[in-house]
Amino acid sequence: MFRWLQNQPRLLEAAYDATHNLLRPLRRFLKSGGALEAVFVRGEELTKGPIFDCRMCGQCILHSTGMTCPMTCPKNLRNGPCGGVRANGHCEVIPTMRCVWTQAYERSLEMKHYAGELTNLQPPVNHRLQGTSAWINDFTGVAEQTPAGWVK
C-alpha cells in the first residue's frame, strides 16, 4: 500500500496542500518545544514514517523533491544527485536501491504546483532540529534559518 502511495506524487501534493491549509489558522499557537510539539512529532512519525521513510530531520522538503525524502539517500544529500548514479538509475552506495534523486526527478515531473522546486538549492540539514516537528518548524520559520556562514 505505501509503495503505491509513494508513487502518487500528485495525490501526496494535494494532501500536503490540504494539511498546510488546515494547519495555517493554528500557526500562532505553534512553537518549537511547545505543548503541541509532541503531538505533531508523533503524528509525523505515524504518517510520514511509513509513507516516506521519514528520518524526522525537522526540515521537510518533500514538496520540493517530488514527495521523495532526500534524507533516505545513503549520503544524506539535500541537493543531488551525487554523480554516482549507476546507468540503471540505482545508487552507487547501495546498488539494489533506486537513486533517491532519480525518483525525486521522476516524481517531480508529475506534480502540479511544486514541480520546479527540485532545482532549488537547499541549505544543509540543521541537525539540531532532528526529531522535531517539520510542520511547526515550517510555520515558525525555524526550518528556514540557515547555518552560520551558509550563503544561498
Other CB atoms within 10 A of residue 105 CB: 18
| pLDDT at residue number 41 | 94
| Confidence (pLDDT) at 148 | 78
Please tell me the predicted confidence (pLDDT) of residue 33: 77
Average pLDDT of each block of 10 consecutive residues along the chain (152 residues)?
85 93 87 83 94 93 93 91 90 95 93 88 89 92 82 70
8 Å CB contact between 54 and 128: no
51 contact partners, CB below 8 Å, separation of at least 6 = 2, 5, 6, 12
Dist CA 16 CA 18 (whole Å):
5
pTM of the model: 0.86
Dist CA 148 CA 25 (whole Å): 31
Instruction: State the pLDDT at residue 1.
Output: 65
Concatenated DSSP letters of 52-116: H-----S---GGGTTT--GGGSTT--SS---S---TTSB-SSSTTSBPHHHHHHHHHTT-SSSGG
How high is the pLDDT of residue 19?
Answer: 92
Count Cα atoms within 13 angstroms, Cβ side, for 24.
7
pLDDT of residue 152: 66
- Write the burial class of residue 106 (CB in 10 Å: 0-12 exposed, 13-18 middle, 19+ buried): middle
User: How much is the pLDDT for 98?
Assistant: 94
What are the residue boundaries of the structural domains of the chain, listed by start? 2-144
